[in-house]
Amino acid sequence: MVKAVVLGAAGGIGQPLALLLKTNPLIDELGLYDIVNTPGVAADLSHIATPAKVEGFLPPNDGLKQVLTNADIVVIPAGVPRKPGMTRDDLFKINAGIVRDLATGIAQTAPKAFVLVISNPVNSTVPIVAEVFKKHGVFDPKRLFGVTTLDVVRASTFVSEVLGDLSLSKSVTVPVVGGHSGVTIVPLLSQSSHPLPSGFAQDKYDALIKRIQFGGDEVVKAKDGAGSATLSMAYAGAEFASKVLRAVKGEKGVKAPTYVSLAADPKGAEALKKELGQELEYFSSIVELGPEGVVAISPLGSITEQEQTLIKAAVPELSTNIQTGVSFIGSSKL
Ligand SMILES: NC(=O)c1ccc[n+]([C@@H]2O[C@H](COP(=O)([O-])OP(=O)(O)OC[C@H]3O[C@@H](n4cnc5c(N)ncnc54)[C@H](O)[C@@H]3O)[C@@H](O)[C@H]2O)c1
Ligand SMILES: O=C(O)C[C@H](O)C(=O)O
């Protein structure tokens, strides 16, 4: 029996994500939690002819505790999205407290669940979850993930557009490492499964990198005040959750870039430290997944000088973002 839970399930991401999870044959039970509307979302989804049993919960009557009971995997898209002119860090003020409180609930009721954090700013909200778990004495770095899959999905799509063939997008894989905001998003195009056309001009390369790094802004601008990416994020979140569950079920060699605590793999962390030129507590790199979560974190490997420059720009910002999350819990009363 696998129980998946979505916290923030009535939102722009939460609803389509719950829909996709309802159609995932690896899931037997789907618990939906939000501060509004989950009974309706659950009733609606429950009519879909797939095996997962769906239940919706609200805060009254210990709803968070109820939804988290026996949870195996918890996905968190709860929190406010950006409006034009905002950075992801501008969301910290509201989302940090939301994520802290939900993490407290998970630490108390489902400390062994895999936790997949979507709420922004991911670079800081993942450390928040870890610090809450540490305070409760239940932190297992192998089971906590920041979902950076949307960056990977965008890279596949934009590279296949450059190659002039969108039908390639499902098979184009580009490692996107670092974190999930602006310059911390580092696409390693030199490691793309499908190389860029030979003689690809520098200005086009720069534009492609920028588009992947700031793809979120493109959607925020187009939605014009009505929020940020929801549908593509739901797709990406469901893809990543599915990978975690496939690995849990014993499939070998499942890998994905994801933002994790480097304490999950000290050997991988040591190699990354050499490559990055400094120690970071969290980083998104290609992670091999297994039945207990993180099996191994890959080093960057061979990268170009241009990619080195991108990494150099990412590291200090990541370090600040991580510290912001850690300090928030340091000064929070739990
Ligand atoms: N990681 C990524 O790649 C990525 C991509 C897109 C969006 N996001 C982030 O995901 C978050 C959600 O985006 P959205 O567009 O779905 O926003 P939304 O406003 O449409 O939905 C958020 C939902 O969270 C719920 N919520 C608020 N406080 C809650 C709490 N304490 N407990 C449970 N639920 C709560 C709200 O009621 C709402 O239904 C934002 O922070 C956004 O920046 C991340
Ligand atoms: O851009 C945002 O604020 C949402 C999300 O992080 C994204 O990358 O689309």
Residue 149 contacts residue 256 (beta carbons within 8 Å)? yes
Mean per-residue pLDDT, 26-47 = 98
Residue 276 in any domain: the answer is: yes
Residue 334 in any domain: the answer is: no
| Ligand 2 mutation pick, 183, 228, 231, max ligand atoms within 8 A of CB | 228
Residue 41 scores a pLDDT above 90: yes
Q: 216 and 276, same structural domain?
A: yes
Q: Please state, in angstroms and rounded to a whole number, the distance separating the CA atoms of residues 239 and 17.
A: 10
Identify the DSSP state of 251: -
Residue 285 in any domain: the answer is: yes
Residue 63 in any domain: the answer is: yes
pLDDT at position 333: 78
**Residue 5 pLDDT grade (very low, low, confident, very high; cuts 50, 70, 90):** very high
Q: 187 and 91, same structural domain?
A: no
Q: Does the Cβ of 12 fall within 6 Å of ligand 1?
A: yes
Over residues 224-281, the pLDDT tens digits come to 999 999 999 999 999 999 999 999 999 999 999 999 999 999 999 999 999 999 999 9
38, 118, 31: which is closest to 72 by C-alpha? 31
Residue 164 in any domain: the answer is: yes
Q: How many independent structural domains does the chain possess?
A: 2
**Interval between CA 282 and ligand 1 midpoint (Å):** 22
Helix (H) or strand (E) run with residue 74 in it: strand 73-76
The residue written with tokens 């994520």 in the block is 99
Nearest-CA residue for atom 5 of ligand 1: 233
Over residues 176-228, the pLDDT tens digits come to 999 999 999 999 999 999 999 999 999 999 999 999 999 999 999 999 999 99
Residue 334 scores a pLDDT above 80: no
pLDDT at position 191: 98
Q: 63 and 163, same structural domain?
A: no
Mean per-residue pLDDT, 134-140 = 98
Mean per-residue pLDDT, 3-21 = 98
Which residue among 148, 166, 192 closes a domain?
Answer: 148
Over residues 90-128, the pLDDT tens digits come to 999 999 999 999 999 999 999 999 999 999 999 999 999
Atom of ligand 2 nearest to the CA of 229: 9
Q: 63 and 11, same structural domain?
A: yes
Helix (H) or strand (E) run with residue 146 in it: strand 144-146
Over residues 268-314, the pLDDT tens digits come to 999 999 999 999 999 999 999 999 999 999 999 999 999 999 999 99
- Flag whether the ipTM exceeds 0.90: yes
Q: Please state, in angstroms and rounded to a whole number, the distance separating the CA atoms of residues 69 and 74.
A: 11
pLDDT at position 322: 98
Identify the DSSP state of 302: S
Which residue among 116, 131, 148 closes a domain?
Answer: 148
Nearest-CA residue for atom 1 of ligand 2: 216
Residue 174 in any domain: the answer is: yes
Q: Please state, in angstroms and rounded to a whole number, the distance separating the CA atoms of residues 59 and 44.
A: 20
Q: 157 and 135, same structural domain?
A: no
Q: 218 and 81, same structural domain?
A: no
End-to-end Cα, the chain, rounded Å: 32
**Interval between CA 181 and ligand 2 midpoint (Å):** 8
In the residue annotation, 180 being an active-site residue is answered as yes
Residue 17 in any domain: the answer is: yes
Q: 223 and 74, same structural domain?
A: no
Question: Domain of 189: which CATH number?
Answer: 3.90.110.10
Q: 265 and 153, same structural domain?
A: yes
Nearest-CA residue for atom 33 of ligand 1: 34
pLDDT at position 126: 98
Residue 62, Ramachandran bin (φ over 0: left; ψ between -120 and 50: alpha; else beta): left
Written as six digits, the tokens of 204 are 């086009």
DSSP codes joined into one string, 171-233: T----EEE-SSGGGEEE-GGG-SSPPPTT--HHHHHHHHHHHHTHHHHHHHHHTTS-S--HHH
Question: Domain of 18: which CATH number?
Answer: 3.40.50.720
Identify the DSSP state of 141: G
Q: 86 and 29, same structural domain?
A: yes
Q: 234 and 175, same structural domain?
A: yes
Residue 333 in any domain: the answer is: no
pLDDT at position 241: 98
Q: 169 and 135, same structural domain?
A: no
**Residue 331 pLDDT grade (very low, low, confident, very high; cuts 50, 70, 90):** confident
Range of the domain at 178: 149-328
For the whole prediction, is pTM greater than 0.80? yes
Which residue among 131, 148, 165 closes a domain?
Answer: 148
Q: 94 and 194, same structural domain?
A: no
